[in-house]
């Protein structure tokens, strides 16, 4: 198993946001995470990405517990998370955002020597490598034609796609996506669906949170449903979405 979440719990004071959650992710699959507002979805992904530290439990990545690593170290291990709302710099271009997201490559290539690039520019060969990679990822994410646009000029769907492209340029083995379809229109969701299927065919494993049952229901091979921080259903996506406890969590017991 690529990722094995074991009895993960996160408390914020008296509130248990994630309660004894266990699930696994196999290489190459798309795993969906469903659950109503406040059910602990973002907290779970933030724990996996090292952004939050668990109160208890283990996050085993390729047989090693990574729950004490920093977000940067987790990303270096191949686990990268995108954010529910991308925080971009409106006055920087799409390509400049991609350069910022290349920091892992620069660190790998130059180590501490990367500090020199602040004063004298990037070594030409590394610069070519980064530009090539950025070009590939923008193409994969259908953003090539907006390469030189300022982020402030992007649609919300474009901003979210740039968040995915920035995650992808870190070379993830597992990409964790927090509500990539929220706020998107029909055509943007169709585009996102195609991009995510392409990422899968490029060998990236995906773990996706979303409320959009149509979108994630079609995409996810397997799903987990959370309610009040706990797993209430797991299995084939269609079975999870039809599960009585899941329907009741979203719509109330009357509808289940
Ligand atoms: N940093 C924090 N401090 C205190 N409480 C928090 C913190 N982060 C999340 N919570 C609480 O933990 C619970 C789970 O929040 P979380 O953001 O994980 O839910 P979610 O399932 O992602 O919801 P949504 O669908 O609205 O994004 C909520 O009650 C939330 O208010
Ligand atoms: Mg959330």
CATH number for the domain that contains residue 187: 3.40.50.300
pTM of the model: 0.93
Confidence at residue 189, expressed as pLDDT on a 0 to 100 scale = 95
pLDDT of residue 120: 79
Quote the ligand 1 centre to 128 CA distance (angstroms). 41
Ligand sitting nearest the alpha carbon of 39? 1
From 10, 16, 40, give the residue whose CB has the most ligand 1 atoms within 8 Å, as the site to mutate. 40
Neighbours of ion ligand 2 (CB under 5 A): 42
- Residue whose CB lies within 8 A of the most ligand 1 atoms, among 38, 52, 177, 224, for a mutation test: 38
Ligand 1, atom 26, lies closest to the CA of 37
Q: What is the mean pLDDT of each run of 10 residues along the chain (256 residues)?
A: 97 97 97 96 97 98 96 94 91 96 83 78 88 96 97 95 96 96 94 96 96 93 97 96 92 70
Domain count, the chain: 1
Concatenated DSSP letters of 183-244: T--HHHHHHHHHHHHHHHHTT-EEEEE-S-HHHHHHH-SEEEEEETTEEEEEEEHHHHHH-H
Q: What is the dihedral of CA 67, 71, 75, 81, to 10 degrees?
A: 100
Residue whose C-alpha is closest to residue 81's, from 7, 170, 147, 12: 170
The boundaries of the domain holding residue 106 are 3-255
User: For position 183, what pLDDT does the model report?
Assistant: 92
């Amino acid at each position: 198993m690529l990722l094995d979440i074991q009895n993960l719990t996160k408390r914020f004071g008296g509130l248990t946001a994630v309660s004894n959650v266990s699930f696994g992710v196999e290489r190459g699959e798309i795993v969906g995470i469903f659950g109503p507002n406040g059910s602990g979805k973002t907290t779970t992904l933030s724990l996996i990405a090292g952004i939050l530290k668990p109160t208890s439990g283990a996050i085993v990545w390729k047989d090693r517990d990574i729950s004490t690593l920093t977000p940067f170290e987790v990303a270096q291990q191949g686990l990268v998370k995108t954010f529910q709302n991308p925080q971009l710099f409106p006055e920087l271009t799409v390509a400049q955002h991609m350069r910022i997201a290349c920091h892992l490559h620069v660190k790998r290539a130059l180590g501490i020597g990367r500090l020199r690039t602040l004063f004298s520019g990037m070594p030409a060969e590394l610069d070519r490598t980064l530009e090539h990679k950025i070009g590939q990822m923008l193409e994969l994410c259908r953003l090539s034609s907006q390469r030189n646009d300022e982020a402030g000029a992007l649609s919300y769907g474009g901003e979210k796609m740039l968040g995915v492209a920035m995650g992808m340029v870190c070379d993830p083995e597992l990409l964790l996506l927090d509500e990539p379809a929220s706020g998107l229109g029909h055509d943007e969701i169709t585009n996102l669906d195609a991009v995510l299927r392409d990422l899968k065919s490029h060998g990236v494993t995906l773990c996706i949170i979303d409320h959009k049952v149509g979108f994630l229901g079609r995409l996810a091979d397997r799903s987990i449903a959370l309610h009040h921080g706990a797993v209430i259903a797991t299995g084939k996506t269609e079975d999870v979405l039809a599960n009585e406890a899941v329907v009741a969590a979203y719509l109330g017991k009357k509808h289940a």
